[in-house]
Structure 1
Amino acid sequence: MSDLTKILVIFDLDFTLIDNSFAICKAFNYALESFQINPPMKEKIIEKIGIELKDMFLDYLDDANAERGVHLFRQYYRTHFFEGVKIIPGAIDLLEKLQGLRYKLALLTSKKTELAIKLLEYIDLKKYFDFILGEQQEFKPKPNPEPILYILSKFPKIDKVFMIGDHDVDCLSAKNAGINFIGVLSGNTSEKNLRKCAGEDAIIIKHVGNIDPPIHLI
């Protein structure tokens, strides 16, 4: 068995550890309404959560206005990010187990780092993480490997790395960075699509509460 103190687990945030869709949908609709665009169905927004924010707006706006949409989204979200947030069942238990086993834990999200930290503090999850990385101008977003490779640079003594996420963009990020991937079905990506990315032998489970350390993470 691997030395557990030399294993790093990188978590995605939205639909992997938390459901923040209520605030995200409200912020997205606030931005679109500023352009006199009728808000889409909630399900249409939710299925895009996890990709780069600007790309979400490009389905409705041209490039220049998509940039403005991102600004308006963040303006609203900055003061409403905590509304309706829910922790995915089993997430706290898993984080506590991994911390107790002395795994290194990191978080990689498409949210701005500052807002991700505030949100984690609000729901009392920040204490579990050794490193938190959100969207940064100096890094290309998922699925580019740059963010994961930057996280790896912060843990030079690590022997094995896992990425846990709900979206195929998380899978592609892990694949592009050359690390292991575990998929969870608590988001909107189907098992079929996750396996298409990760491979038929990949570990794909219902939600993080079904991960059994160290069985799945060795």
Structure 2
Amino acid sequence: MSAPLRLVIFDVDGTLVDSQGDIVAAMTAAFQSVDQAPPDRKTILGVVGLSLDVIMPRLLPALSDAAHARMVEAYKAAYMTLRASAGVAQSSPLYPGALDALRGLNAVPEVLLGVATGKSRRGLDKLIEGHRLDGLFVTQQVADHHPSKPHPSMILQALSDTGVDPHQAVVVGDTSFDMEMAAAAGVRGIGVSWGYHDRARLAGAAQVIDAFSQLRPALDAIWGVPA
């Protein structure tokens, strides 16, 4: 009997790539665009994963919708400029072991890979191109077309795209938003400890791993695959 079709959905920032330098710099530019002092690094990284139109009101609730919109555009412009000047590999480097893990999972016939990210379509396309990840992700969910995490829309669409049963799908992410999104969609989550939320905020994860080398065993344990 053949194995059931399975789906692994990855968050991007803080999970596959470390883009914190550009995120902090772009957020600083966004705050400067409305003459506000930027928050500290920990505060900025604490909201990574949410969509920009949710982040700005959360960080500066007293400002108008128009000011928040200016911040979003300033952030996007700064981020694109930073990435263009440094290149994707330097601006958003893959975490150690990420590429090998992706390629290894992609080689398993019954396993499909997907992405669910707060990035825009343009941002994800640039990252996939820059790291030569073309063809790895059969379903790609971005902020342009969905409510912000932790709403389950991205995961539900990925399941619909692939026809995979929720019990055979896993979300891999570094934030509480990823784990909450997974739970809301009836999918289990694996938290990664190297990202932007500490382990205490990943309490909703089925497992938390400390290196990409631990991902395959964690998936096998969730799916009940014999060792």
CA distance in 2, matches of 1:74, 1:125: 22
RMSD: 2.1
Which of 53, 73, 76 is equivalent to 1:74?
Answer: 76
Aligned counterpart, 1:104? 112
Which of 203, 208, 213 is equivalent to 2:207?
Answer: 203
* Cα distance change, pair 150–216 in 1 and its aligned pair in 2 (3 A): same
CA distance in 2, matches of 1:117, 1:132: 10
Which of 135, 157, 160 is equivalent to 1:150?
Answer: 157
Which of 102, 124, 131 is equivalent to 1:116?
Answer: 124
Q: As a proportion of its length, which structure holds more helix?
A: 2
Aligned counterpart, 1:179? 187
Contact conserved, 1:17 with 1:208, CA < 8 A, in 2? no
CA distance in 2, matches of 1:2, 1:68: 52
Q: How does 1:163-178 map to 2 (within 5 A)?
A: 163-178=171-186
Q: How many pairs were matched up?
A: 212
CA distance in 2, matches of 1:207, 1:113: 28
Aligned counterpart, 2:47? 48
Task: Specify the SS of the correspondent of 1:127.
Answer: coil
The runs of 4+ residues in structure 1 deviating greater than 4 Å are none
TM-score, scaled relative to structure 2: 0.84
Task: Specify the SS of the correspondent of 1:212.
Answer: helix
Which of 139, 142, 159 is equivalent to 1:134?
Answer: 142
TM-score, scaled relative to structure 1: 0.88
CA distance in 2, matches of 1:85, 1:144: 25
Contact conserved, 2:33 with 2:70, CA < 8 A, in 1? no
1:57 equivalent in alignment to 2:64: no
Per-residue deviation, residues 165-211 of structure 1 (Å, max 9, x unmatched): 1101000100000011111111132222211x23xxx2111133321
Q: As a proportion of its length, which structure holds more strand?
A: 1
Amino acid at match of 1:3: A
CA distance in 2, matches of 1:206, 1:9: 17
Aligned counterpart, 2:9? 10
Which structure 2 segments of 5+ residues have no match? none
